[in-house]
């Protein structure tokens, strides 16, 4: 950054002075975007940073800092209630022409207004007229993002939508459990999607809903997908370590050469994928800490056995293992219910569904969506009633998952490559643990 600065300082001495002035004008403790200098700022990353700046309040003459024609840079998140005027106002833009353009332009209306949570950056003149506006978003799960650029050319504006590849960056993080997994990941600034992956990776071995202990700790390495340096989406967890109740669990993502997809393994190459998942709904903020076990409606129903998972109506329900649908329809207290026969002895039951996506006799694969959470039958509110039966007897799904057979370990042919990866991940996890420890102290 320093080298780049000095290089462009020779080319653009005046822009540097102007940007420094803009920086001072933002006042003490403000968050602002630092412009990247270069022939075309749009080609370079713009980073959002928070930076304490000395106050100019003690009589420093602002006039002395002003240079004609300098640029101001600001960033803001969009809100769903935004109008062109309210958004520009938060961005410090006073420019009726720009507001009129945003209102009338299809791309701006579609991608900017009424979309919450998108980071918008603007460059304005010193009299707060818009020079350039940029907003970026990832339209789907592909590895590309879109960029809308609105730019002033003479006295009119143009808008263009561009597409560019996301860049994966690696992050190290860690945390200590005080109350719940999400409380810990929130405190560490870890995105929800990464917290959910963590719970899913270790789902068969750690009961994140019921068995976390205060003082449990974790470290992880994960990908963040960036657009022009702005983190847009979290990617995959690459490796993780979780200390639960005195026992250490480790995972590393590895793709066998020639395999269509990868999977998680322990650092000594054993698969973490089991024949049964512990939970028929993905881990979420709602399900974490849920303890409702019994239905208060009817005496005989109250005596029923099963595990209830809190989740909003419509949440996808997945089968915990490969099998065949033995029943899909309505049964009294169960409401809409699906029975999946996994083998001669093992049957799982998914009840109170709002929607059934499978038919009797259909083959289903572990993790496949078979219906959606609801409140049909004797349910006091939306939740999934789940039963794991072995020879007709109710069993704890967490224990069944943990005890079930694991998928194949890393193959002999892929061992050397896996060993190298595991060694690197060991080093990165140690670094993540030190980062976490330093934060805690």
User: Which residues contact Zn ion (rule: CB under 5 A)?
Assistant: 306, 308, 385
CA neighbor of 279 nearest in space, from 181, 407, 401: 401
C-beta of 371: minimal distance to Zn ion in Å? 16
Residue (of 70, 73, 68) closest to 15 by Cα position: 70
**Minimum distance from CB of 376 to Zn ion (Å)?**
13
Angle at 131 between CA 125 and CA 136, to 5 degrees: 130
Tell me which long-range contacts 156-159 makes (C-beta under 8 A, separation of at least 24): 157/97, 157/98, 157/101, 157/105, 157/130, 159/101, 159/105, 159/107, 159/108
User: What element of type H or E holds 367?
Assistant: none
322, 364 contact by CB (below 8 A): yes
Please, what is the minimum distance in Å from the beta carbon of residue 338 to Zn ion?
Answer: 15
Strand partners, 356: 371
Contact 386, 306 (CB under 8 A): yes
Nearer to Zn ion, 194 or 356 (CB): 356
Which whole-number Å values give the CA distances from 392 to 169, 344, 350, 384, in the listed order?
Answer: 49, 11, 15, 20
> Least CB distance from residue 375 to Zn ion, whole Å?
11
Rounded distance between C-alpha atoms, residue 237 and residue 353, angstroms? 31
> From the CB of 278, what's the least distance to Zn ion, in Å?
17
* 216/308 with CB nearer Zn ion: 308
- 3-state SS, 146-213, equals EEEEEEEECCEEEEEEEEEECEEEEEEEEEECCCCHHHHHHHCCCCHHHHHHHHHHCCCCCCCCCCCC
> Toward Zn ion, which CB reaches closer, 306 or 382?
306
Sheet strands (E) in 190-311? 217-227, 230-244, 247-254, 263-265, 307-310
Cα separation, 54 vs 375, in Å, equals: 58
Q: Which is nearer to Zn ion, 191 or 306 (CB)?
A: 306
- For residues 135 and 340, which CB has a smaller minimum distance to Zn ion in the complex? 340
**CA 323 to CA 319: how far, in whole Å?**
8
Decide whether 51 or 294 has the Cβ nearer to Zn ion.
294
At closest approach, how far in Å is the CB of 390 from Zn ion? 18
Q: Which is nearer to Zn ion, 318 or 385 (CB)?
A: 385
Nearest approach, Cβ of residue 397 and Zn ion (Å): 12
Question: Is the CB of 274 or the CB of 385 nearer to Zn ion?
Answer: 385
| Between 241 and 308, CB nearer to Zn ion | 308
Q: For residue 172, give both structure tokens.
A: 């190290």
Q: Closest distance between Zn ion and the C-beta of residue 323, in Å?
A: 21
Q: Which CB, 222 or 386, lies closer to Zn ion?
A: 386
For 65, which DSSP code? Answer: G
Distances (CA, A) of 439 to 26, 64, 174, 177, 429: 29, 41, 9, 14, 15
In the complex, the smallest distance separating the C-beta of residue 393 from Zn ion, rounded to whole angstroms, is 17
Computed from CA positions of residues 240, 241, 244, 249, in that sequence, does the dihedral angle turn out positive or negative? Answer: positive
Euclidean distance between CA atoms 435 and 164, whole angstroms: 32
Report the nearest approach of Zn ion to the CB of residue 321 (Å).
20
C-beta nearest to Zn ion: residue: 385
């Amino acid at each position: 950054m320093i080298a780049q600065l000095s290089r462009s300082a020779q080319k653009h001495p005046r822009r540097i002075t102007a940007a420094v002035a803009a920086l001072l004008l933002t006042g003490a403790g403000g968050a602002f975007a630092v412009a990247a200098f270069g022939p075309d700022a749009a080609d370079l990353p713009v980073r959002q940073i928070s930076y304490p700046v000395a106050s100019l309040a003690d009589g420093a003459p602002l006039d002395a800092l002003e240079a004609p024609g300098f640029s101001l840079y600001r960033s803001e998140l969009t809100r769903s209630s935004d109008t062109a005027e309210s958004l520009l106002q938060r961005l410090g833009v006073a420019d009726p022409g720009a507001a009129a353009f945003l209102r009338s332009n299809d791309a701006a209306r579609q991608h900017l207004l009424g979309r919450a949570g998108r980071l918008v950056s603007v460059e304005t003149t010193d009299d707060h007229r818009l020079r350039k506006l940029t907003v970026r978003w990832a339209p789907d799960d592909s590895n590309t993002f879109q960029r809308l650029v609105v730019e002033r050319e003479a006295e009119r504006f143009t808008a263009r939508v561009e597409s560019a590849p996301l860049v994966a960056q690696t992050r190290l993080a860690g945390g200590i459990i005080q109350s719940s997994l999400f409380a810990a990941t929130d405190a560490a600034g870890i995105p929800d999607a990464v917290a959910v992956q963590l719970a899913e990776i270790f789902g068969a071995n750690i009961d994140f809903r019921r068995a976390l202990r205060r003082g449990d700790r974790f470290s992880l390495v994960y990908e963040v997908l960036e657009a022009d340096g702005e983190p847009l989406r979290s990617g995959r967890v690459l490796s993780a370590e979780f200390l639960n109740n005195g026992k250490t669990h480790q995972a590393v993502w590895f793709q066998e050469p020639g395999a269509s997809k990868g999977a998680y393994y322990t650092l000594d190459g054993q698969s973490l994928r089991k024949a049964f998942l512990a939970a028929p709904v993905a881990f979420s903020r709602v399900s974490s800490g849920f303890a409702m076990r019994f239905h208060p409606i009817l005496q005989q129903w109250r005596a029923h056995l099963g595990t209830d998972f809190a989740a909003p109506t419509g949440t996808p329900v997945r089968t915990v293992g490969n099998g065949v649908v033995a029943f899909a329809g309505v049964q009294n207290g169960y409401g809409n219910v699906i029975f999946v026969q996994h083998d001669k002895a093992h049957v799982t039951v998914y009840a109170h569904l709002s929607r059934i996506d499978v038919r009797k006799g259909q083959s289903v694969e572990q993790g496949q969506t078979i219906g959606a959470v609801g409140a049909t039958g004797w349910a006091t509110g939306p939740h999934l009633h789940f039963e794991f039966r072995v020879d007709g007897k109710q069993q704890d799904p967490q224990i069944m998952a943990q005890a079930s057979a694991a998928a194949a370990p890393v193959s002999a042919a892929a061992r050397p490559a896996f060993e190298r990866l595991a060694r690197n991940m060991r080093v990165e996890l140690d670094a993540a643990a030190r980062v976490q420890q330093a934060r805690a102290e």
